[in-house]
Amino acid sequence: MYSLRPVIVIWCVFLLGLPPAGAQVFSGGHRNGMSRITEPYRPKALAPLNLANSGRLEDLVRGGSLYLSLQDAIALALENNLDIELQRLGPAIAEASLLRAQAGGLLRGVPPSVTQGPTSGQVTGGAQRGQASGITQSAAQQASSAQSGAGAGTVISQTGTVVPNLDPVLTGFLRWGHFTNPQTNSFVTGNNTLINRNDISNFQFQQGFLTGTTVSLGLANSRLRSNSLRAELNPSNSSSLSLTLTQKLLQGFGRPVNNRLIRIAKNNREVSDLQFKQQVINTVSGVINLYWDLVSFIEDVKVKERTVELNQKLLNDNRKQVEIGTLAPIEVVRAEAELANAQQDLTIAETRVLQQETVLKNALSRTGIASPTIADARIVPTDRITIPETEAVEPFQDLVANALKARPELAQRRIQIDSDKINLAGSRSQLLPQLDAVFAFSNNGLAGSISDLPLPEGSPPRFVPAYFVGGLGTTLGQVFRRNFPDYSAALQLNIPLRNRAAQADMAIDQLNIRQREIQLQQFENQVRVEVQNALIALRQSRATYKAAVQTRIFREQTLDAEQKKYALGASTIFNVILVQRDLALAQSAEVAALSEYGRARVQFDLATGNTLVTHNISIEEAERGQVSRGPSPLPPGQ
């Protein structure tokens, strides 16, 4: 071990001189010297997983009811929705992937693709969310499908030139050995059994660079003690300090080839931000639809309650007329049957409200309805859908231009094409022959003690220059004084004669880029169609609501007239029941039309990319999971 002490000293000095591997400080205080050395070999500390709801949810429960405005629902979704929480991890994963690429490692893909927002169990009518007339699949759904097919969340196999390892690597080899070799001739060694004690300590530092250069610096030490009678130095120490530079001249040359994975990882980092933004848009849009559906379901319950009241009044009137003998008893049975149907419709409407409340609570809470307080609280929406007198809509071309600029799905596809073009540099470089320039420099040293073993008979006396007499220090002194240098330069050429695999990779990568460009054009066309259909749907829903209002007014007037005629004996109970049914249908149609307008408005914002702007949503607050605005005040009388 005495012979290894200088090497161990050099090794320790080198380790202590290493810079810290990162700028992050682990929780628990300042880092000492040892922690700086061991930091690259420990996992990074992560914040604990938080599955508790924000305080806003409990604050909104008042008197056993959850008073909820639309802005409160959006804020709760930003703070508690698990789909958004899942996507918050995406940028961190992308950052780790970037760190891996900066070390020369393969990419591990982008975070998982976004999910569609929450949907109601039942809707009041009209097109399903995410679809419009003439569209079988929305652009958002197409984007999600494309991301799934692009290997999201999976390990991406690298094509093209291999990127060098950009992290420095320090290797060491220590060996203590005892070797016995029988000899067929004693002339060389002076005996028929050669016994060697050979101790080796080798260390090497190697690092690759983005230019295609690899540098290797090595220090090799060997101490040999032998029973050879003819050895002049015994024991002896030999050392060698070598420097090797390898530069790729054709294949793998240049920064554009070797930093392509880093640039793609940076693009993926941007994609993860866009995916988070898209998830926020999807979730918020889904929550808004849930909220307006709940409002419409509650209004539908009120309609069903009024229908029950009308049927109950009709039944009471019929019973009085049967008692005085002015009406046949069968009319009481008819009224009872109609009342039972109305009560059944009311029960269905009430249970639908309960189902919708459960769906909405699950979307606004990290724990769903696990909390008894939240599970038992009835949601009281404090906002109502309002239709402005005039629709403030920009010109169609301006809407399309804004959608093409604001839709995060489009930005993701453009970034993907850019990443494919960056990766094309590796396939193009792979087409070239391999030509490497290798420069090697080494300094050698040898020293030892004059052997004290007896010489064979007839051998000349030992003569060793004083320069070679000494220990490991003498050997290292020769090395660093460069007393025995070696120099070499070499060119290494490797030419594939057919090169079919590289040509195939290049063709596939180019064709994939063309496919993505065509898909981008398809996507842009689909966005234009979505904007057009969303605009049409907004106008249609507005017109449908106005017509439903007029129909409801007409049915109310008709029922009033029919009841007066019935009171005068000019009509029948059957006609009154029919008119009451028509009024109930008209009232339900009005509620459905109002709900459909709200959904059309949400879809319009989705198509034009204005969801965040319309509802004053800060993406920075969404990333933090903390919304600065407080709960909305209760309306007067609630």
Residue 516 near residue 456 (C-beta atoms within 8 A): no
> pTM score, two decimals?
0.82
Asked if the structure places residue 394 within a domain, the reply is no
Least confident of 37-46, 362-371, 611-620: 37-46
Q: What is the pLDDT of residues 248-265, one digit of tens each?
A: 999 999 999 999 999 999
pLDDT computed for residue 135 by the predictor: 35
Q: Which residue has the higher pLDDT, 110 or 554?
A: 554
SS3 content of the chain, % helix, strand, coil (to 5): 55, 15, 30
Asked if the structure places residue 192 within a domain, the reply is yes
DSSP label at residue 467: G
Residue 604: pLDDT band by 50, 70, 90 thresholds? Answer: very high
Residue 8: pLDDT band by 50, 70, 90 thresholds? Answer: low
pLDDT computed for residue 262 by the predictor: 93
pLDDT computed for residue 11 by the predictor: 52
Q: Other CB atoms closer than 10 Å to residue 389's CB: what's the count? A: 4
Q: Is 134 a residue whose pLDDT tops 50?
A: no
Nearest to 577 by CA among 385, 326, 221, 332: 332
Query: To which H or E segment does residue 487 belong?
Result: strand 484-494
Nearest to 602 by CA among 355, 385, 361, 395: 385
Burial of 521 (0-12, 13-18, 19+ CB in 10 A): exposed
Structural domain for 235, as ranges: 169-208+213-251+434-494
What's the chain's average pLDDT? Answer: 84
Extract the tokens encoding 236. 């002896």
Residue 105: pLDDT band by 50, 70, 90 thresholds? Answer: confident
Q: Which residue has the higher pLDDT, 387 or 76?
A: 76
Rounded Cα distance between 136 and 533, Å, is 12
Q: Which residue has the higher pLDDT, 151 or 72?
A: 72
Please give the average per-residue pLDDT across 613-631, as a whole number: 90
Share of the chain above pLDDT 70, in %: 88
Residue 486: pLDDT band by 50, 70, 90 thresholds? Answer: very high
Please give the average per-residue pLDDT across 134-160, as a whole number: 48
Q: What is the pLDDT of residues 349-399, one digit of tens each?
A: 999 999 999 999 999 999 888 888 888 899 999 988 888 887 777 888 999
What are the CA-CA distances from residue 538 to residues 460, 530, 534 (Å)? 110, 12, 6
Residue 167 near residue 215 (C-beta atoms within 8 A): no
Least confident of 230-234, 371-375, 454-458, 606-610: 454-458
What is the DSSP track for 596-628?
HHHHHHHHHHHHHT-HHHHTT--HHHHHHT---
Asked if the structure places residue 511 within a domain, the reply is no
What end-to-end distance do the CA atoms of the chain give, in Å? Answer: 86
Which of 123-137, 144-158, 175-189, 396-410 has the highest mean predicted lDDT (pLDDT)? Answer: 396-410
Q: Is 206 a residue whose pLDDT tops 90?
A: yes
Please give the average per-residue pLDDT across 420-431, as a whole number: 92
Asked if the structure places residue 443 within a domain, the reply is yes
Asked if the structure places residue 459 within a domain, the reply is yes
Asked if the structure places residue 240 within a domain, the reply is yes
What are the CA-CA distances from residue 25 to residues 32, 36, 38 (Å)? 11, 10, 13
Asked if the structure places residue 489 within a domain, the reply is yes
pLDDT computed for residue 562 by the predictor: 85
Q: What is the pLDDT of residues 225-251, one digit of tens each?
A: 988 887 888 899 999 999 999 999 999
Extract the tokens encoding 181. 């070799």
Residue 233 near residue 464 (C-beta atoms within 8 A): yes
How many domains does the chain fold into? 1
Residue 288 near residue 197 (C-beta atoms within 8 A): no
pLDDT computed for residue 468 by the predictor: 83
pLDDT computed for residue 30 by the predictor: 53
Asked if the structure places residue 29 within a domain, the reply is no
Residue 591 near residue 249 (C-beta atoms within 8 A): no
Please give the average per-residue pLDDT across 70-95, as a whole number: 92
Q: What is the pLDDT of residues 535-550, one digit of tens each?
A: 999 999 999 999 999 9
